[in-house]
Amino acid sequence: MIPKYKYKPRIYFIATFIATYCFWLAGAYASFHDDQSGMYMLFMLPGLMAPFLISLVMIFTSKNPDLIKDFINRLINIRLIRLKMLPALLLIMPLTVLVSIVLSLPFGGSVSQFQFAEGFSFSSGFVPVLFLLLLAAGFEELGWRGYAFDSLQSRYTYFKASIVFSILWSLWHFPLIFVNNSYQYEIIHQSIWFGVNFFISIIPMGVIISWMCIKNGKSVLVAILFHFVINLSQEILAITQFTKCIETLVLIVVAAVIIVLDKDMFFSREHLATEVKK
């Protein structure tokens, strides 16, 4: 956090939600009146970019040079990345998926879930799905880590900021359930409980991403990479939605273990400040 700068979380999140919801609801309407060209993505992409663009506005209109320098440093400084954290960064989500598949087997889950998926679980118009997964990780984390999370942490302990952020991040995805062919649209039409599970799963996932970012000097690059690994992990294997419900429970356990093992950081603002400076 930047000394002598008053963060404005309420303005940031209200502006981000309004911008994203407006674009995505327009995109939802267009997605059902599309001639298969996928042009509805022209609405979806600005909504996806909203967290980043509003973060830029908040940062560069602040007239605070320290805030601007801090954002640029966390974006380009690879020395913030801790080598000892790389195994966790690269393996937490793939292992979570594998453990979830194993746990699903006694409940009738198929071993075929260990196979690579034949394709992606949704379509994305004229934008290749793999590229969209990267764009989502990039534009979201540039906003969430560029301004949003710090704005919450300026008011709360790290634990409370993580929970509040994760709930808001979950709700930010809500309009996607109305977008034809989106992942959220597809699963909620399979079962409303699969849709509910998606929104619940984001909460422990948000806590884990926030922890990973802080443990790497608040590096925005780490947050983007970890988010992209999460996106790939959800798509690379033929995992069922039932298993993804189990995965949510595994994620809750992982987040709880992280909180317990790093409780000093989660419940002390002073420790957070020290962690960032290391």
Which of 118, 173, 271, 275 is the catalytic position?
Answer: 173
Report yes or no: 173 and 199 within 8 Å, Cβ to Cβ: yes
What crossing angle do the helices spanning 220-235 and 129-143 adopt, rounded to 10°?
150
Angle at 218 between CA 232 and CA 184, to 5 degrees: 30
Number of H helices, E strands in the chain: 13, 0
What crossing angle do the helices spanning 269-277 and 158-172 adopt, rounded to 10°?
80
Is 186 considered catalytic here? Answer: no
CB < 8 Å & 24+ apart, contacts of 70-76:
70/2, 71/146, 71/147, 71/220, 74/145, 74/146, 74/217, 74/218, 74/219, 74/220, 75/142, 75/146, 75/220, 75/221, 76/221
- Which of 258, 266, 188, 195 has its CA nearest to residue 226? 258
Is 275 considered catalytic here? Answer: no
For residue 60 the two structure tokens come to: 């560069």
Which of 33, 118, 140, 186 is the catalytic position?
Answer: 140
Q: What H or E segment, with its residue span, contains residue 232? A: helix 220-235
Catalytically active residues, by annotation: 140, 173
